[in-house]
Amino acid sequence: MPAAVVHSINPATGRIIAGTRVGTPADLQRTLDLIDKIKPMWRDTPAPRRGEIVRQMRVALNDRIQDLGKLVALEMGKILPEGVGEVQEYVDICDYALGLSRMIGGGVVPSERPGHFMMEQWNPLGTVGVISAFNFPVAVYGWNSALSLVCGNPVVWKSAPTTNLSAVAVTKILERVLEENNLPGALCSLVTGGADVGEAMARSPRVDLLSFTGSTAVGRHVGTIVQERFGRVLLELGGNNAIIVMEDADLDLAVRSVLFAAVGTAGQRCTTTRRLIIHESIYDDFIERLVKAYGQVRIGDPLQEGTLCGPLHTKNAVEQYKKGLESVVQQGGKILYGGKVLDRPGNFVMPTITQIDPSAPVVQNEIFVPILHTFRFKTIEEAIQINNSVKQGLSSSLFTSSISNLFKWTGPNGSDCGIVNCNIPTNGAEIGGAFGGEKETGGGRESGSDSWKQYMRRQTCTVNYSGALPLAQGIKFE
């Protein structure tokens, strides 16, 4: 029976770009067989040597950054600067991983027993599976892959079916680096496919850590399956992020930030701003400025210079956009700007601003399109309550010039999100910080800080060099 072929469609034109032959659960099992054979070799490879391989991958990716960025823009639909910027994220995390390869270490722990030495050390975990989403078809895999490799783990990747071309291109670049170093290509395996391959990855006990990026609904299913077999799971799920604008904020800075955070990537980032909480004393002025800024956004071909907003990724996303606007009106809200599907080839819509009650059901659930809901507030405490009122907890931002507001926002009764910003938008996270969120965002952390620990086995080691047998907690057993 011939293998199925999935077409990648240019969301700006609706035309087929190319087709990719997709894998099956049986292909995944054969891939895991190959990975099992090479795991001992890669674990025994010194971490600095593993870092050197990742450094070479970084060079190879950077050499093709423009080509890869164009492919991302063509296949996914984000504008070219964002496509190139996504590949830059992969390059940057390779730099980070290279440094990490000479810094991975545990710690020495004082022993309560004489003549004993205690230490904590980290060893490779095993096989890391990555299921990535369409909106970041390169960067998310890069975060996981670079850290996994320096930590001593082979990686198997299932890309989103609608962005297989980007995944194949990245894998080909990595494969060439591995071959030049006489290393097996299975270290960075790719098995394209649909939900059946993803399900098989979640159920396989040979996938020691599964990193999943996608919707909360699917993430809950994946997390349950992996937990049932006591595997590790790293979940990066829904956002529904908010920006709060205080009366003492720099309004020009805030308007530019909201525009980028709400309209960038046509609203298809997990860190996109979907809720805008504005102090009542400046609400009308701020909305007037924001509507004017929205009116200057150029919508069109993502590969064309000057375009700020490309298409939605699929026709289904356009339908979600229309249903979302219908819900806004049905639930007592009104549209302040936009609200239209553009009559042209491709999946183009107008970025939209609404005014609605923050407790409306349509506000509580993230819609992965450029719809921005706006509300008024009186006090910082009320604004924080609105920010925290949704089930998701990824990214959040406060615009203020008050030190008091800043520390309330970042304190124990402030934002309940994993990313808490001040005077910058909700998107555009740096690779040095841990990326991820709380509540229905899944609780996972990727990229920087100590995220590398998720890819390793933690061991507490005690060495008795005393010749005697003193027991812990003062226990005597004679």
- Please identify every residue annotated as catalytic: 236
> Which uninterrupted H or E stretch holds 248?
none
Angle formed by the axes of helices 80-100 and 47-63, nearest 10°: 160
Instruction: Tell me the HSE value of 341 on the side-chain side, using a 13 A CA sphere.
Output: 17
Q: Is 462 helix (H, G, I), strand (E, B) or coil?
A: strand
Query: Which stretch of DSSP H or E encloses residue 9?
Result: strand 5-9
* Cβ(185)–Cβ(210) below 8 Å: no
Residues in the chain: 478
The two beta strands, 392-393 and 438-439, are antiparallel
Task: Say how far apart CA 4 and CA 192 lie, in whole Å.
Answer: 11
DSSP, collapsed to helix, strand or coil, labels residue 441 as coil
Q: Taking the CB of residue 376, how many other CB atoms lie within 10 A of it?
A: 17
Provide the 3-class DSSP secondary structure of residue 108.
strand
Nearest by Cα to 321 from 309, 336, 339: 339
CA distance 319 to 248: 39
Q: Provide DSSP, 176-225.
A: HHHHHTT--GGGEEE----HHHHHHHHH-TT-SEEEEES-HHHHHHHHHH
Contact 87, 69 (CB under 8 A): yes
CA 376 to chain centre: 30
> SS3 for 353-397, per residue?
EEECCCCCHHHHCCCCCCEEEEEEECCHHHHHHHHCCCCEECEEE
Burial class (CB in 10 A: 0-12, 13-18, 19+), 232: middle
Which residues, 6+ apart, have CB-to-CB distance to 389 below 8 Å? 358, 359, 364
Question: Encoding tokens for residue 437?
Answer: 């969120």
